[in-house]
Amino acid sequence: MNETTIGIISLGCLIVLLMTGLPISSIFLVLSLVGLSLILSFQNATGLVGAALYFNVASPNWAALPLFILLGSLATHGGYAQKAFKGLNIITKGLTGALGIATCYSCAFFGAMSGSPAATAAIFAKLTLPEMRKYGYEKSFAAGIVACAGTFAAMIPPSGLMIVYALFTQQSIGRLFAGGIVPGFITATVYAILIIIRIKINPKLVREELYQAESHSVWARIKAIKELWPAFLTATVVLGGIYSGVFTPTEAAAAGCALMFILGILQGSLRNLNTVKSALRESSSTASMIFFIIITALFFSRYLAFTEIPIGLANWIAQLQVERIYVLIGILSVWFFLGMIMIPDGIYALCLPIFFPLIVKMGYDPIWFGIITIKLNEIANVTPPVGLNIFTIQSAMGKDITAEEMYVGVWPFVCCDIVVLILLMVFPGIVLWLPNLLLGR
């Protein structure tokens, strides 16, 4: 067998093994090792494993990932989700669907500190779902709001997925961060509009009279803004430091961690040593898992390079003489399907070595493509059968809500995500305007 045939067989085995539920990192490692042993030799294959374990993550840029994960963990344990919701709950009171709207924007503000969709969904499931149920929100409607709003942390910087994409493709983390800000808050606004429209059409979704009876003065709303200042300050230090040139992304992550820790000490939420230990333990566990996936995925991409499948696929598509938009739609369709059965990090690991060279060759902007894939990953976080946010919320809430009830609630918001995705594809300037403004073309 030649190299390409071995590679095709490996990809077929990959699809089959993914359906078994085995860890994707183990699948990457075994298939790459077996394939390279057939192409080269077992000794050379194991030598490449050692090289992949070290050289692929030896760059200082990789330090940004665990630091941003730690930043999110400190924000979670520091209680900043509660602060954001408390402030926005007061500010939005009086609007139709105010609790749902407050949840959407609270998730957006907390996403500016955490970078983790799963963490955001878990926290707001415990924080806002009981509150919405108290005020008569229909169960699946409330769960759909929390599950979908929890995905904002993937798009609004500092996002862990953006860092993974940047490291896989050698793109600017700062440009990716800037590219996600406008789409992230557009999505939050579209969700808020949908909540208002749905309640206007079907008032039975909520019992607004219970909530509106508790009013707040204009002065109380202004004072409530102070609850949002930790998010504003963190975003200013991290993002402002990057765009002003004061910090590299790694230094910005370290500064954000230091700021979050100091704020937690001053405000009392991180004075308990056990709380800090828990944040460190949680972030190290998450970072270790992601790093192992990335290392084995990069090893798998090296193996695919030996098989010449990425180059062959790019050349074959180039010879088809079809409009590039149809090729893009095909790639995004594959991405959407994989999102139903794989975690986002695994999708990046599998698809970027194959599709990214093709995207660049067709002339698409790599930053724009990165934001498009993150939007697809947002959708994947709430669609069956994987739907990580769905199972995160179910785990947090126990028997109070079923996965079926949540899937019913998320579909209207998924439709909103698809509308936003189409807007980003038709008008790339929505993504690229801010990166070009801050960092030049």
pLDDT digits (tens, 9 = 90+) for 333-379: 888 877 776 777 777 877 887 788 888 888 899 999 999 999 998 88
Q: Which two tokens stand for residue 346?
A: 């695994």
Please tell me the predicted confidence (pLDDT) of residue 397: 66
Q: What is the percent of the chain where pLDDT is above 70?
A: 89
Please tell me the predicted confidence (pLDDT) of residue 182: 92
- Could you report the per-residue pLDDT of 182-203, keeping only the tens digit for each? 999 899 999 999 999 998 888 8
Q: Please state the rounded mean pLDDT for residues 308-336.
A: 76
Query: Residue 26 falls within a domain, yes or no?
Result: no
Contacts of 216 (CB under 8 A, 6+ apart): 90, 93, 94, 224
CA distance 221 to 225: 7
Please tell me the predicted confidence (pLDDT) of residue 186: 92
Q: Tell me whether the omega of the peptide bond preceding residue 158 falls within 30 degrees of 0, making it cis.
A: yes
Query: Residue 287 falls within a domain, yes or no?
Result: no
List phi, psi (to 5°) of 402.
-100, 160
CA distance 176 to 161: 10
Query: Residue 203 falls within a domain, yes or no?
Result: yes
Of 354, 381, 383, 352, nearest to 369 by C-alpha is 352
Sign of CA dihedral 352, 27, 407, 287: negative
Are 116 and 153 in contact by the 8 Å Cβ rule? The answer is: yes
| Chain-centre distance for alpha carbon 187 | 14
Query: Residue 44 falls within a domain, yes or no?
Result: no
Q: Which two tokens stand for residue 73?
A: 């963990």
Longest C-alpha distance within the chain, in Å? Answer: 76
Please tell me the predicted confidence (pLDDT) of residue 47: 73
Q: Please state the rounded mean pLDDT for residues 68-94.
A: 79
Angle CA(83)–CA(88)–CA(92) in degrees, nearest 5?
160
Please tell me the predicted confidence (pLDDT) of residue 194: 93
Q: What is the mean pLDDT of the chain?
A: 81
Contacts of 218 (CB under 8 A, 6+ apart): none
DSSP calls for 5-55? HHHHHHHHHHHHHHTTT--HHHHHHHHHHHHHHHHS-HHHHHHHHHHHHHH
Q: Hey, how many other C-beta atoms are within 10 angstroms of the C-beta on 16?
A: 10
Contacts 24+ apart (CB under 8 A), 62-66: 62/167, 62/291, 63/250, 63/253, 64/163, 64/173, 64/249, 64/250, 64/252, 64/253, 65/160, 65/163, 65/164, 65/167, 65/287, 65/290, 65/291, 66/283, 66/284, 66/287, 66/291
Query: How far lies 40's CA from each of 13, 31, 47, 54, 332, in Å?
Result: 20, 14, 11, 21, 34
Query: Residue 357 falls within a domain, yes or no?
Result: yes
Angle CA(62)–CA(68)–CA(70) in degrees, nearest 5?
115
Quote the number of domains for the chain.
1
- Could you report the per-residue pLDDT of 204-217, keeping only the tens digit for each? 888 765 555 555 66
Confidence check: pLDDT of 304 > 70:
yes
Domain that holds residue 414: 59-271+308-439
Calculate helix-pair angle for 309-319, 273-307, nearest 10 degrees: 70
- Could you report the per-residue pLDDT of 123-179, keeping only the tens digit for each? 787 778 887 887 788 888 888 888 888 888 888 888 878 888 888 888 888 899 899
Strand partners, 93: 95
Query: Residue 282 falls within a domain, yes or no?
Result: no
CA distance 323 to 370: 21
Please tell me the predicted confidence (pLDDT) of residue 429: 92
Query: Residue 279 falls within a domain, yes or no?
Result: no
CA distance 311 to 358: 9
Of 26, 45, 23, nearest to 34 by C-alpha is 45
pLDDT confidence of 432, banded at 50, 70, 90?
very high
| Chain-centre distance for alpha carbon 193 | 22
pLDDT confidence of 287, banded at 50, 70, 90?
confident
Q: Which two tokens stand for residue 231?
A: 């998010």
CA distance 344 to 168: 13
Query: Residue 34 falls within a domain, yes or no?
Result: no
pTM value is 0.79
Please tell me the predicted confidence (pLDDT) of residue 59: 67
Q: What is the percent of the chain where pLDDT is above 90?
A: 11
Confidence check: pLDDT of 84 > 70:
yes
